[in-house]
Amino acid sequence: TDIGDLLPYLATEIRGCTYFHGTNELNYMERGHIIAIRPKQITVTALQDEAEARQVCEELKRMINGVHDRRDSITPTWRKQARVGPLTVYRELPQTNCGECGEPTCMAFAARVVSREMPASHCGPLLLQEYESNRERLWGILEQAEYEVE
């Protein structure tokens, strides 16, 4: 089945995706996977096993079918780029490498945030009053790029 006509509608519905009309490809990250949706093919990286592959395929199928069913009420998006790099996140972190988030370094934590594996709110020191301006800047950057912060 060719879902190329749905790509602009999917771009509206999928948070944090990148899509340029005419390229026939929509990309986004979800739970550490890079997902590319093309008219006749979907690719997903870093799947652990066949069971996870089946689960992700079912989730994608439900989401795509839902967008198809609601497309008359969705305003299509023709160009969307919502990417934040790990350095952008890292620069706003306290850079203490405290490990409170479960990661060994703040850079590792930043990478997990941009891959949508962990929300930025898991950085304990960032929630302290002394880092309020950093937190507000980072929340703004992430929200503008359609990342969840909490």
Helix, strand, or coil (residue 2): coil
> Please, are residues 142 and 13 in contact by the beta-carbon 8 Å criterion?
no
What domains, with CATH codes, occur in the chain?
4-81 (no CATH), 86-144 (1.10.15.40)
Q: Does the structure show a pLDDT above 90 at 11?
A: yes
Provide the whole-model pTM. Answer: 0.67
Query: What value does the mean pLDDT of the chain take?
Result: 93
Q: Is the dihedral of CA 55, 150, 147, 122 positive or negative?
A: negative
Residue 47 half-sphere exposure toward CB, CA atoms < 13 A: 13
Q: State how far Cα 124 lies from the chain centre.
A: 22
> Taking residues 95-99, what's their average pLDDT?
97
Share above pLDDT 90 across residues of the chain, in percent, rounded to a whole number: 73
Q: What is the pLDDT of residues 39-92, one digit of tens each?
A: 999 999 999 999 999 999 999 999 999 999 999 999 999 987 767 889 999 999
